[in-house]
Structure 1
Amino acid sequence: MFKIMLIEDDATLFHEVKERLTQWSYDVYGIHDFGSVLQEFTAVQPDLVIIDIQLPKYDGFHWCRMIRSHSNVPIIFLSSRDHPTDMVMSMQLGADDFIQKPFHFEVLIAKIQATLRRVYNYNTERTELRTWRGATVEYVKNMVTSPSGSVELTKNEMFILKMLIERKNQIISREDLIKSLWDNEHFVSDNTLTVNVNRLRKKLEPLGLDTYIETKVGQGYMATEEVHS
């Protein structure tokens, strides 16, 4: 099931669109605090974002910039304003499509389906993106990108990082990591995992992320993340 984040402050429109999209088996999320859109986006990790231009506090263009600084998730803009510059600005900011209000739901669903098909190609592995400590982690490309730069990881290093950040602030045992990496821990030296984790930390050091992978003596490892209340 694809997750869609609908950033729309018109409660009536939001609930109407959510109900219709749910009927199409999409999982729809809204925004609780329009001043913390990026934090809620990061928490949900949606597969697609639909965002209105006119929003409380900051407009949709602002949040598009913020999201794009962390993720390549597809974005569809909504606008009730009849300004060609809105569409131009949306595309320049990296939006994938633009819909003028009022719109027919059939048009919206067609654009959603086309965008998801183009980006994820239903029949292939989806490009998985996660954010962690302000960095974008691209699982398929084995890349970690932050404002400090980018680093490329080996498949084992990325696998370890993926396991850790998928369960942030939770300890992953050494046994679980070894089993997942090499199928059978009986044929792998415990030191092999240590070497791989140390290499991962070394790769992340230029980005300032190495200290956020903590060793829990006698237990395993943990990727830490700030918790927003």
Structure 2
Amino acid sequence: MFKIFLVEDDATLFSEIKERLLQWSYEVYGVTDFEKVIEEYTAIRPDLVIIDIQLPKFDGFHWCRMIRQHSNVPIIFLSSRDHPTDMVMSMQLGADDFVQKPFYFDVLIAKIQAILRRVYNYSTEQTQLKTWCGATIDYENNTVSNEHGMIALSKNEFFILKRLIERKNKIVSREQLIKSLWEDERFISDNTLTVNVNRLRKRLDELNLGSYIETKVGQGYMAKEEGTSGD
């Protein structure tokens, strides 16, 4: 799970951004003392920083300079200022992107995901082996195995299983799954998603695991860690 440090003094905007990021299973941290941003950054050790330019005490450019003295962590600037020099300054200080307020949340999320994918490489950042319901999930070979045997999944089936397991025991909406597949360049429609989930369940049935992928009507899907399906 990636940790995001959100340096934003507008409480309403902070809450809105945090809520959206939590929906994507990011850990979100805010600033408690705007005179000690660098101390809080060091304590949190985030994977990405989102920082406003206009802040109390010192501006975002100051804190970007301070962070860059310690780390190459990716940084995204937020700003309501539209002067080109702000964007130029942010890039010169080592920021990875610049988002002007007001913005579409979907655009911000897409930028965050693109940067995290580029910097940390999803395919290698994650451990190659994970366990779920007593089964071993092999991220490198797209296989699932337990005492009942081993199955190899298609790329789409495995991608869906991976996303559900990352948020096990929580509902992942159909929209989130489709968006993740498109962003990973696995072009998939709503109907195709249904087909892939059904195929995934049938394959998992071979390992007595199909019932652990639960449909939440009108909401999405859930990978349960234990218990049986409530379809």
In the superposition, the TM-score normalised over structure 1's length comes to 0.54
Structure 2 equivalent of residue 48 of structure 1: 48
Shift of 1:125: 3.7
Runs of 4+ in 1 over 3 A off after TM superposition: none
Counterparts of 2:125 and 2:115, CA distance in 1: 15
1:123 aligns with 2:123: yes
Counterparts of 1:122 and 1:97, CA distance in 2: 19
Spell out, residue by residue over 1:21-55, the C-alpha distance to the aligned partner (whole angstroms, 9 max, x if none): 10110000000000000000000000000000000
Shift of 1:7: 0.2
Structure 2 equivalent of residue 90 of structure 1: 90
- Equivalent position SS for 1:49: strand
Structure 2 equivalent of residue 99 of structure 1: 99
Structure 2 equivalent of residue 60 of structure 1: 60
Counterparts of 2:23 and 2:110, CA distance in 1: 14
Structure 2 equivalent of residue 23 of structure 1: 23
Structure 1 equivalent of residue 142 of structure 2: none
Structure 1 equivalent of residue 38 of structure 2: 38
Counterparts of 1:43 and 1:99, CA distance in 2: 26
**What is the correspondence of 1:218-229 to structure 2 with a 5 Å cutoff?**
none
Structure 1 equivalent of residue 198 of structure 2: none
Counterparts of 1:90 and 1:122, CA distance in 2: 26
**What is the correspondence of 1:1-229 to structure 2 with a 5 Å cutoff?**
1-125=1-125
Counterparts of 1:3 and 1:40, CA distance in 2: 13
Return 5+ residue gaps in structure 1 as ranges.
127-229
Counterparts of 2:30 and 2:37, CA distance in 1: 10
Q: Over the residues paired in the alignment, what is the CA RMSD in angstroms?
A: 0.9
Spell out, residue by residue over 1:123-154, the C-alpha distance to the aligned partner (whole angstroms, 9 max, x if none): 1248xxxxxxxxxxxxxxxxxxxxxxxxxxxx
Return 5+ residue gaps in structure 2 as ranges.
127-231
Spell out, residue by residue over 1:165-194, the C-alpha distance to the aligned partner (whole angstroms, 9 max, x if none): xxxxxxxxxxxxxxxxxxxxxxxxxxxxxx
Counterparts of 1:124 and 1:38, CA distance in 2: 29
Opposite residue 52 of structure 1, the aligned amino acid is D
Counterparts of 1:122 and 1:37, CA distance in 2: 28
- Identity level (%): 82
Counterparts of 1:125 and 1:86, CA distance in 2: 32
